[in-house]
Amino acid sequence: MSVDVRLPTVLRPQAGGRAEVSVDASTVGELIAGLVQQFPGLEGQLVDASGTLRRFVNVYVNDDDVRYLDQLDTPVADGDVVSILPAVAGGSC
């Protein structure tokens, strides 16, 4: 199943500048693994050494936050759109 993955500006350099990529997967975990296989530079941005999604990386399947679904076991289907949004913090002193 081909799932469209939308990447924010901060992750695009590790994905060859692409804003959207397609990944064959049936779960969010498989999708992340496939994304990292295609673009190894994303690995440290998305998952920790144990393969767990980083704490401040938000993943949405068709606008539903996977934290409130089955997390990495959340199913994805052909035509779904997955958005990955790492939290960004900052400000001035």
Q: Does residue 59 form part of some domain? A: yes
When pLDDT is cut at 50, 70 and 90, the band that residue 1 belongs to is confident
- Domain range for 62: 2-86
pLDDT at 37: 95
User: Each residue of 6-55: pLDDT tens digit?
Assistant: 999 999 999 999 999 999 999 999 999 999 999 999 999 999 888 888 98
Q: Which amino acid is at 9?
A: T
Indicate which CATH number applies to the domain containing 52. Answer: 3.10.20.30
pLDDT at position 82 over 70: yes
Count CA within 13 A, CB hemisphere, residue 39.
24
Answer yes or no: is 91 within a domain. Answer: no
Would residue 81 count as lying in a domain? yes
Query: Is the residue at 92 inside a domain?
Result: no
Domain count of the fold of the chain:
1
pLDDT exceeds 70 at position 89? no
Q: Domain for residue 69, yes or no?
A: yes
Mean pLDDT of 66-92: 88
Tell me the C-alpha distance between 75 and 82, whole Å: 11
